[in-house]
């Protein structure tokens, strides 16, 4: 996944159930990663969650993307799993390199 991916399709992953997160990703006109977070713990953990999401997106070399997260009290690894699944779906990748995730 060394190529910078800028051409993605809208996609989503996750649910709105307790302990989960619903993540939507879509192409963005602007360069970079735009993150929109809705969470009951945003005041305390919002910055940490956004930093973690940004790191996850950058590690997958995706640019010009908007990531919208509705957090329902998810653990950090759950949000990461949902963001990665949504991005793989957006990229049409079904066989990722697991050693890089």
Binding site for another protein (CB under 8 A): 13-15, 17-20, 74-75, 77-78, 80-82, 84-85, 88-89, 94-95, 98-99, 101
Minimum separation from the CB atom of position 78 to another protein (A): 6
Minimum separation from the CB atom of position 60 to another protein (A): 12
Minimum separation from the CB atom of position 16 to another protein (A): 11
8 Å CB contact between 46 and 37: yes
The total number of residues written for the chain in this structure = 101
8 Å CB contact between 78 and 22: no
d(CA 72, CA 53): 15
């Amino acid at each position: 996944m060394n190529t910078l991916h800028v051409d993605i399709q809208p996609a989503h992953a996750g649910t709105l159930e307790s302990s989960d997160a619903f993540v939507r990703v879509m192409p963005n006109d602007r360069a970079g990663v735009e993150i929109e977070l809705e969470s009951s713990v945003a005041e305390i953990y919002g910055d940490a969650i956004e930093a973690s999401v940004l790191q996850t997106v950058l590690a997958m070399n995706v640019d010009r993307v908007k990531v919208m997260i509705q957090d329902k009290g998810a653990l950090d690894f759950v949000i990461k799993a949902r963001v990665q699944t949504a991005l793989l779906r957006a990229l049409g990748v079904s066989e990722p390199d697991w050693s890089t995730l």
